[in-house]
Amino acid sequence: MGFFNNMKNRLTGRTHSVTDKFRDGLSKTRHSLAEQMNNLVKKYRRVDEDFFDELEELLIESDVGMTTVMDLVDRLKDEARTRNIKETALLKDVIIEVLSDFLIRSKEDTELNLNPSGLSVILLVGVNGAGKTTTIGKLANRLKSEGKSVLLAAADTFRAGAIDQLQVWGDRTGIDVIKHQEGSDPASVVFDALQAAKSRKTDVLLCDTAGRLQNKVNLMKELEKIKRVITRECPGAPHEVLLVLDATTGQNALNQAKLFRQASEVTGIVLTKLDGTAKGGIVLAIRNELDIPVKLVGLGEQLNDLQTFDADAFLYGLFSEWFQSEDGADPESLN
Amino acid sequence: MAFESLSDRLQATMKRIRGRGKVSEADVKQMTREIRLALLEADVNFKVVKKFVKSIQERAVGQEVLKSLTPGQQVIKVVQEELTDLMGGTQTKINFALKPPTVLLFVGLQGAGKTTSAAKLAYYIRKTHNKNPLMIAADIYRPAAIKQLQTLGGQLNIPVFSLGDKVSPVEIVRQGMEQARANHHDLVLIDTAGRLHIDEGLMDELEQIKEVSHPDEVFLVVDAMTGQDAVNVATAFNDRLSLTGVVMTKLDGDTRGGAALSIRSVTGTPIKFVGMGEKMDALEPFHPDRMASRILGMGDVLSLIEKAQATIDEEKARDMQQKLLSVTFTLDDFLEQIGQVRNMGPLEDLLAMMPGANRFKGMKNMQVDEKKIDQIQAIIRSMTPGEKTDPDIINASRKKRIALGSGTSVADVNRLLKQFKDMKKMMKQFMGKGKKRNPFNLPFMQ
Ligand SMILES: Nc1nc2c(ncn2[C@@H]2O[C@H](COP(=O)(O)OP(=O)(O)OP(=O)(O)O)[C@@H](O)[C@H]2O)c(=O)[nH]1
Ligand SMILES: Nc1nc2c(ncn2[C@@H]2O[C@H](COP(=O)(O)OP(=O)(O)OP(=O)(O)O)[C@@H](O)[C@H]2O)c(=O)[nH]1
Ligand SMILES: [Mg+2]
Ligand SMILES: [Mg+2]
């Protein structure tokens, strides 16, 4: 009860569309998990080993990964003990608290770090097909609607049709794309884009890069070079290096985060495709083991399907039916 | 994260039960815990893991430990075999239509690799079966999807049928099929847009595409990095479209690829091909045994074990060990030992197959110098029987003769003799501590 009210308060004042978007995106998907959580609480009225075993399984099924699942469950056990919680219904609040803590530690975690005066450079990196180019389109749209001038750099010169794909997003958003021929050196595309951004006094330059698997040494070196060029041409840049991560990814995402960070000092994660049924639980593991925050969330393929990561809304979507059963309230009546 | 391989995981348990003849129930319990963790870390769906571990438990208890294997290796072998079985037969043939054209439909989530895989397969089948393919661009949603397929078609010199992005995909496919027949294409590959399995509208569209194209293969293209959700995705696509095969992409990465096992065991759909890179020739038929090893994180440890079983006569090895312990281990024995290892294949290959070989300190920088081994063999062969059994009698003039006979130098002969002596000394110390040698730890591999 207490937690639900808290959550409700935290959510009031937030626009309808944000929570809806999240719920629409997430609740279909969280369905089974929420249902299971529900059953879980019904099945085990008391907090005991069986309860934790099953909770463990739920988290594993969300791709959280064993190490972090064990960490989380240990913490929950500690909390239950110190707070003397014996009923599973009450422990739910604690579970949400602990997960919230894991996801967002401070406001800066989810805010894009932009240069208040002058050019900001954002570099998007990630494995093949994660959603880099699409995210650039969405992010460009959002920045533009905030009144910023934006420029795109087509530094994926490798994949067939990649430049055209970015150009379509440029056309959709009315934003210029700096591009070279397919097969040309990506670092020199970025170099040109930086010069253009400087001379046009652009606010934000978004750099698309080719998808690369983190174990490809040469491709990771290429990324390092791109980043070096950015820093050389524009001290203090890149202001953000966003690792684009497909929410359906399993444990390999940890490798991705680790090696991309090594090569390009990743500052945040964009978690895409959360409109599917994948839970994206691996971001808990990435937060736990590498301390990289999620900044943005992709919830579809259209221009507006990008949201700032919001742990409350995320968890609300995750456990919406669970809350519902506790209070007998319809989630619809929330807003 | 460098996940531990199953064999690493089992080390501890193995130590405990080494030397015992049978795998006990308690051992199995310990091991199944490790197996469970290894599979979960490999992204095998946890329900599949549960079922699997149960079957392993039943198989492993009470097993006789083969003479040639440690109990741990034995369990790994059981696990690997079971995994391989689960992932189905080795043969992954394409269903060709009796009446051409053969039609392949590619479906899957966004970004899985459909467009790339369609082009790769067109290229592959044209090469292996001498077909005349046509690719149909039926993705009208993703920006530049048609352009992407056309570019690939251009690179491969394979025609692409397109009606732009203003005509419905079903209509595009219908007309594409007509064109294929008219132009006598005997192979048609249909690239569709990525879609979520819960997107009713787009799943309907796929059903309609299937209806108008009568595909001989419906391939679900799946990213090898997919986590627990793979079962939901595969089940939904399979329910709607009756999949005939899976193409698993991006296996050139460092993912374990447990999704392969999940999908196979939940839908029964065989994995037919794997994508090993972005280039058009980076496509391979699926090998369940390799995939099993990969999921377990073991390199090709099983092939190594099998090779060892086949070539090293266990009794002989034991004999050799005895000889080493006593002072009767001769240069002749040494020569034979080298020969046995050599029979297993090039040493570099053997080492490459050993899981974690590069993780051991000594191993990392160790280069197996095949030439050196040739040299050693030559030197020993130039010795008289007397010299081989009692190298102490080899004086300066004998050394000169041996060097001459083997095409080496006296220094080389000296080095070998010293190594042999050191080795014997080392082995004696080693054995003195009661440690058992395993047949892979040959002197020149240290
Ligand atoms: N449902 C859904 N699809 C998405 C989302 N983000 C991207 N996609 C789709 O995922 C596919 C791949 O997206 P891209 O933006 O091309 O991915 P990328 O990382 O640039 O790919 P490469 O450049 O080939 O490495 C496209 O079909 C996108 O429309 C999302 O949040 N939700
Ligand atoms: N490393 C590697 N990359 C691959 C492989 N297969 C595909 N890719 C890459 O993955 C990304 C997505 O591939 P696409 O073929 O565009 O995927 P798709 O399923 O057609 O994507 P949508 O049409 O947007 O749903 C591209 O960058 C490809 O180059 C593979 O086996 N290995
Ligand atoms: Mg891209
Ligand atoms: Mg495609």
pLDDT 10s digits, B70-109? 666 667 777 878 888 888 865 568 999 999 999 999 999 9
Stated pTM of the model: 0.79
Q: Is B91 domain-assigned?
A: no
Assess if residue B408 is contained within a domain.
yes
Please give the angle made by the CA atoms of B148, B153 and B155, to the nearest 5 degrees.
100
Ligand-binding site membership of A209 (annotated): yes
Measured CA to CA, the distance from residue A233 to residue B267 in angstroms comes to 53
| Cross-chain Cβ contact B227/A249 below 8 Å | yes
Smallest Cα distance from B291 to chain A, Å: 16
Please tell me whether B164 is known to bind a ligand: no
The partner residue sitting opposite A278, judged by closest CB among B155, B229, B254, is B229
Calculate mean pLDDT across residues B309-334. 61
pLDDT-based confidence at A247, cuts 50/70/90? very high
Of the residues B243, B269, B296, which one is the last residue of a structural domain?
B296
Strands B283-285 and B271-275, how do they pair? antiparallel
Query: Is residue B445 in some structural domain?
Result: no
Whether residue B130 sits in one domain with residue B25: no
Of the pLDDT bands very low, low, confident and very high (cuts 50, 70, 90), residue B23 is: low
Tens digit of pLDDT for each residue in A192-242? 999 999 999 999 999 999 999 999 999 999 999 999 999 999 999 999 999
pLDDT at A7: 39
The alpha carbon torsion through B408, B410, B413, B414 (nearest 10 deg) reads -150
Q: With an 8 Å Cβ cutoff, are A251 and B110 in contact?
A: no
Domain boundary among B40, B60, B86: B86
* pLDDT for A72: 86
Sequence letter at residue B280:
M
CATH of the domain at B23: 1.20.120.140
pLDDT 10s digits, B247-300: 999 999 989 999 999 999 999 999 999 999 999 999 999 988 888 888 887 654
Same domain, B263 and B123: yes
Res. B215: pLDDT tops 60: yes
Which among A168, A246, A282 has the least Cβ separation from residue B143? A168
Phi then psi dihedrals of residue A150, to 5 deg:
-130, 150
For residue A271, which residues of chain B lie inside 8 Å, CB to CB? none
Choose among A60, A129, A130: nearest Cβ to B40.
A60
Instruction: Indicate whether B51 belongs to any domain.
Output: yes
Kindly report the CATH number assigned to the domain that includes residue B165: 3.40.50.300
Residue B46 to residue A57, Cβ atoms within 8 A = yes
Question: How would residue A76 be classed by pLDDT, with cut points 50, 70 and 90?
Answer: confident
Compute the average pLDDT of residues A148-157.
98
A190 lines ligand 1 (CB under 6 A): no
ipTM rounded to 2 decimals: 0.85
Q: Please list every residue in chain A whose beta carbon sits closer than 8 Å to the beta carbon of residue B201.
A: none
Same domain, B110 and B224: yes
How many angstroms separate the CA of residue B145 from the nearest CA in chain A? 7
Q: Can you read off the two tokens belonging to residue B148?
A: 């992407």
Query: Given this model, what pLDDT does residue B419 score?
Result: 78
**Is B58 touching ligand 2 by the criterion CB < 6 Å?**
no
In chain A, % of residues over pLDDT 90: 58
* B53 and B168 together in one domain: no
On whether both B172 and B230 belong to a single domain, the answer is yes
Confidence of residue A25 (pLDDT cuts 50, 70, 90): very low
- pLDDT value for A10: 41
Give the mean pLDDT of B100-127. Answer: 97
> A78 or A179, which is more confident?
A179
Q: Among B274, B296, B318, which residue terminates a domain?
A: B296
Which of B196, B228, B184 lies closest to B48, judged by CA?
B228
Whether residue B96 lies inside any domain: the answer is: no
Q: Give, for ligand 2, the residue of B106, B114, B116, B206 to mutate: max count of ligand atoms closer than 8 Å to Cβ.
A: B116
Q: Which residues of A touch B43 (CB under 8 A)?
A: 63, 250-252
State the nearest Cα–Cα gap between A136 and chain B, in angstroms: 13
| Predicted local distance difference test score (pLDDT) of residue B319 | 63
In a domain, B187, yes or no: yes
Show the DSSP H helices in chain A as ranges. 2-11, 16-43, 49-61, 66-82, 88-103, 132-145, 162-173, 186-200, 217-233, 252-264, 282-290, 311-327
**Residue from A248, A279, A284, A286 to probe the interface with B (highest B Cβ count within 10 Å):** A248
As for how many domains chain B has, the answer is 3
Q: Strand A294-298 and strand A120-125: pairing? A: unpaired
Q: What is the pLDDT of residue B132?
A: 97
Residue range B161-187: average pLDDT? 97
- Asked whether residue B274 falls in the same domain as residue B319, the answer is no
Assess whether B317 and B241 both reside in one domain: no
pLDDT value of residue B38: 85
pLDDT number for residue B106? 98
Residue B115 is labelled as binding a ligand? yes
Residues B251 and B147 in one domain: yes
For B233, the token pair is 């995705």
Query: How many angstroms separate the Cα of A20 from the Cα of each of A77, A334, B298, B423?
Result: 33, 10, 46, 73
The answer to whether residue B107 is domain-embedded is: yes
- Are residues B37 and B59 both part of a single domain? yes
Contact: B225, A252; criterion CB under 8 Å: yes
Residue B389 Cα distances to B202, B384, B426, angstroms: 79, 9, 18
Any alpha helices (H) in B61-199, and if so which ranges?
71-86, 114-129, 145-156, 169-182
pLDDT of the residue at A279? 82
Residues of B in contact with A61 (CB under 8 A): 45-46, 228
**Residue B313 structural domain:** 304-432
Give the CATH number, domain containing residue B376.
1.10.260.30
Residue B438 lies in a domain: no
* Residues B325, B241 within the same domain: no
B159 lies in the same domain as B281: yes
Would the CB atoms of B111 and A131 count as touching at under 8 Å?
yes
Chain B residues closer than 8 Å to A183 by CB: none
Whether residue A276 and residue B278 make contact (CB cut-off 8 A), yes or no, is no
CA distance A162 to chain B (A): 7
Instruction: Give the number of A-B residue pairs with CB atoms closer than 8 Å.
Output: 148
Q: Does B408 score more than 50 pLDDT?
A: yes
Residues B171 and B311 in one domain: no
Ligand 2 within 6 A of B276 CB?
Answer: yes
